[in-house]
A and B are shown apart, each in its own frame.
Chain A
Amino acid sequence: NAGVTQTPKFRILKIGQSMTLQCAQDMNHNYMYWYRQDPGMGLKLIYYSVGAGITDKGEVPNGYNVSRSTTEDFPLRLELAAPSQTSVYFCASSYPDRSAGELFFGEGSRLTVL
């Protein structure tokens, strides 16, 4: 049982480049999320999805886009990378209807924009 899988684990981008962070979960969770964590800070919600075809902005959505075509996958797209997007990105999933809404996290993707 893999849980939440994120790829890549590490990536270095140049300013203005684009990339997609992949996230997949095999727990049949309806809800999926993307968070970023800057050094010494907590996790900030970027985007979330309550099911296939449904996405919504979180606290810090600028510079990012998402899509949710299947229950399993929730990719995060950076269109024009900026140094301010240097961070560790965590994908998570949950099934709030059956629990306190605890999140299951992937191992994270460390992104550096130079």
Chain B
Amino acid sequence: DQQVKQNSPSLSVQEGRISILNCDYTNSMFDYFLWYKKYPAEGPTFLISISSIKDKNEDGRFTVFLNKSAKHLSLHIVPSQPGDSAVYFCAASTNAGKSTFGDGTTLTVKP
């Protein structure tokens, strides 16, 4: 049973437009939700997080929204840039420090 799901394997957007990446989860006990970005042949790097008691967190061009009733979160990137092209992983963590990852969404931003 996959507790964190990213149902879109890929997303393609035009430079300057908004990118919206989605993630669903099943476990109500998660404390934090995080997004990581991964370039080929590199390790994932942390992008942004949101506490389970919040519904929005913003950091520059990146905003994460959390809808607890729907067990759904999304990452908005505005405006999208070609350098944002990467694989984005959604993850959920408990206060025990363990994180569960989705399968990732490959974002391609076209110039």
Q: For window 53-111 of chain B, which residues contact chain A by CB distance below 8 Å?
A: 89, 91, 93, 95-104
Q: Bound complex: CA of A48 vs CA of B99, how far in Å? A: 11
What does the 1/0 interface line of A83-114 toward B look like (CB < 8 Å)?
00000001010101000111111111000000
Question: Which residues from B are CB-within-8-Å of A45?
Answer: 98-100
Total A-B residue contacts, Cβ distance less than 8 Å: 68
- Pick from A31, A40, A90, A100: contact of B43, CB under 8 Å: A90
Asked if A42 is an interface residue, CB under 8 A from chain B, the answer is yes
Q: With A100-B32, A100-B51 in contact, is A105–B104 under 8 Å at CB?
A: no
Whether the pair B49, A102 counts as a contact (CB closer than 8 A) is yes
Interface footprint category on B: 20 to 34
Chain A CB within 8 A of B34 CB: yes
A50 at the interface (CB under 8 A from B): yes
List residues of chain B with CB within 8 A of the CB of A44. Answer: 101
Given contacts A31-B97, A96-B97, A107-B42, 5 further A-B contacts (CB under 8 A): A43-B44, A96-B93, A100-B49, A101-B95, A102-B46
Q: Would you mind naming 22 contact pairs between A and B with Cβ atoms under 8 Å apart?
A: A4-B43, A40-B9, A40-B103, A42-B89, A42-B102, A42-B103, A42-B104, A43-B44, A43-B101, A48-B98, A90-B44, A96-B93, A96-B95, A100-B31, A100-B50, A101-B32, A101-B95, A102-B46, A102-B49, A103-B99, A104-B46, A108-B41
